[in-house]
Amino acid sequence: MHPHPSKSILLAAAIFLPALAFAEPHELTLERDVRPILKEHCFHCHGEGEKLKGGVDLRLRRFMEKPTKDGDKVMVPGKPEESEMLQLVRDGDMPEKGKKLTPAEISTLEQWIAQGAKTLRPEPEQVPKVWITEEEREYWAFQPIRRGKVPQLKNAADVARVRTPIDAFLLAKLEQKGLTFSPEGGQADPSAPGDDRSHRPAAHARGSRHLPRR
Ligand code: HEC
C-alpha cells in the first residue's frame, strides 16, 4: 500500500518549511538593529541634545512618523523611498556633522523601514531624560558581578604553578598561545657573592649624595 499523497506533502513541508523560514530575511527591529545606529550618529542632534535640530526627534518610531515643520515625511513605514531620513543619510547630508553611516548601516536602516519599521515591544509613553533600554542593559558593564568559572589547565606543569585562581586565568590564555609563566627566580642565597647585604648601607650612602644639601 502506498502512503496517502497528502502525507508525503506534509512530510515534505515539515522538512522544507524550516529551511524556508530560515531563508526569509531576518526581521529587523528598532531596539535591536536600528537604535544603536541612530544613537551613535543622530541622537545628539535629534533627541538627546539640548535642542531638537530641525524639530526632528528620532528616539521613538512614533516620533519619526511625525512630519517635519516643512511637511516632509521623516519616516514612512514600508516606504524607504518616501522616508526623508533615509534619503538624507544616503546622500550624505545627515548626520550634518560627524561620522557618516557605513553602507551596511544604511542598508539596515533601509531594510528596517521596508519591513514596516518594526519594534520589539510597545514604546514608552514618555522618554525618560536618561533612557537606557533593555538592549543597552545587556552590555557587560551593566551586568551584575558574577563569579567566573576558573579555567581548567591542560598542562600539569601549569597546574602546579597556580597559587591563586587569577594565575589559572592567566595561564589558560598563555596555554592557548603555547606559552607559560617565566621560570621562577630562586630564593636569594646569602652566601652567594654579589648578594652581600652588608653592601647595602654603602649603596645607600652613595645614593644619598644626590640629595639636595640642607
Ligand atoms: C550635528 C547635528 C546633526 C546630526 C548628528 C544629525 N542631524 Fe539631522 N538635522 C540637523 C539639523 C541642523 C537639521 C535641520 C536642517 C534644516 O532645517 O535645514 C536636521 C534635519 C534633519 C531632518 C529633517 C530634514 C527636513 O526635511 O527638514 C532629518 C530627517 C534628519 N535631520 C535626519 C538625521 C539623521 C537620520 C541623522 C543621523 C544619521 C541626523 N539627522 C544627524 C543636524 C543634525
For 180-206, write each residue's pLDDT tens digit: 999 988 888 767 665 555 555 544 444
In contact, 60 and 52? CB cutoff 8 Å: no
Domain check: are 125 and 44 in the same one? yes
User: Does 138 lie in the same domain as 34?
Assistant: yes
**Total of domains in the chain:** 2
**Considering Cα of 83, then 84, then 88, then 94, what sign does the dihedral take?**
negative
**112 domain residue, yes or no:** yes
> Tell me: the pLDDT tens digits for 60-80?
999 999 998 889 999 999 999
Separation of CA 58 and ligand 1 centre (Å): 10
107 C-alpha to center of ligand 1: Å?
A: 19
Residue 170's domain comprises 147-180
- Determine the Cα–Cα distance for residues 151 and 165; give it in Å rounded to an integer: 9
Give the lowest-confidence range in 4-8, 14-18, 23-27, 202-206: 202-206
Identify whether 210 is part of a domain.
Answer: no
In testing the pocket of ligand 1, which one of 53, 64, 108 has its CB within 8 Å of the most ligand atoms? Answer: 53
In-domain check, residue 90: yes
- Residue 130 resides in a domain: yes
According to DSSP, residue 95 is labeled S
Q: Compute the C-alpha angle 91/87/109, nearest 5°.
A: 110
Let me know whether 103 and 128 are in one domain.
yes
118 and 36 together in one domain: yes
Q: Position of cell 522538512?
A: 15
Nearest to 85 by CA among 111, 45, 48, 58: 58
pTM of the model: 0.66
CA distance 74 to 65: 6
- Looking at the fold, whether 43 and 92 belong to one and the same domain comes out as yes
